[in-house]
Amino acid sequence: MTADNSEQIAQWNGALGERWAAMQREIDRIVVPFGDAALRAAAPQPGERVIDVGCGCGDTSIELARSVGETGAVLGVDVSQPMLEVARARAVSTNRANLSFENVDASEAALPTETDLVFSRFGVMFFSQPFDAFRHLRKSLRKDGRCVFVCWRAPRDNPWATAPLSAAHAAMGVTAGPSDSYAPGPFAFADDERVHAILSDADSMPSVCSASTCRFRLAPPRVPPRSLRCRSDRFRASHGSRALSICRRFWMPSSALSPRLPKRKGR
């Protein structure tokens, strides 16, 4: 793990960020219910100043701007230029003069002070140094400001992510290597106690965690299951490798996907 966010910045400005930008509508359908729950908890009010951390393609920033109204202001920040291009294009169609975006790293960039709300939907788990990042974010808040974010619980509570990964490992006949559960990635904030520690360390930032469950349906396969049967080890390895690659590119830190290849038997 690097001491800064350079690896994450490179990934989100490369193929990963471009894919998320291209698949914005599909991804929104999955994550919007979680963001809506966080927005209800945040309860942005007219006239408030808000920073949306890891704003991605901008839908939460647009909704926040609608809530705070013309007398308020919303700044969406993200390290991914491809996703911010989508966000800015979407914002133009809403004609919100109180909404702006910046391509910066929220963990160290100069941010507006006296902010009422720091908000994030799945954007804070990717900091390489989360303790430092939240201390920095705390400086942008008013004394009585609030921070509301949503993050994924443990992998065991998220079969939508682990089931494809397990299937890919099984198809390849490999086992996952050891991983750092605190490495930047979707499940870096799965440990409640660690999240409390991070927030408490950030100069008494409010530390209240609640667990929520949201059900969503993934699209069925486009081909009959019978046609997906592996007929040879070569076929299985090829398709398993592709599935593993997809999981790696979209969700999991690479350390969580490092397979331990089985020893080959002699010919």
Confidence at residue 210, expressed as pLDDT on a 0 to 100 scale = 55
HSE-CB of 121 using CA atoms within 13 angstroms: 26
Indicate the pLDDT class of residue 176, thresholds 50, 70 and 90.
low
- Which tokens belong to 242? 């592709």
> Cα dihedral sign for 238, 241, 247, 249?
negative
Indicate the pLDDT class of residue 175, thresholds 50, 70 and 90.
low
CATH architecture assignment, domain 6-154+181-201 = 3-Layer(aba) Sandwich (3.40)
Asked whether the beta carbons of 239 and 169 are under 8 A apart, the reply is no
Neighbours of 113 (CB within 10 A): 10
Confidence at residue 115, expressed as pLDDT on a 0 to 100 scale = 97
Q: Counting runs of H as helices and runs of E as strands, what totals does the chain give?
A: 9, 7
For the entire predicted model, the pTM comes to 0.77
Q: Is the pLDDT of residue 112 over 50?
A: yes
Indicate the pLDDT class of residue 149, thresholds 50, 70 and 90.
very high
To the nearest 10 degrees (0 to 180), the angle between helices 15-22 and 24-42 is: 80
Query: Where are the domains positioned within the chain?
Result: 6-154+181-201
- Which tokens belong to 144? 């009585």
How far apart, in whole angstroms, are the C-alpha atoms of residue 141 and residue 249?
Answer: 34
Q: What is the mean pLDDT of the chain?
A: 79
User: Looking at residue 211, what DSSP letter applies?
Assistant: -
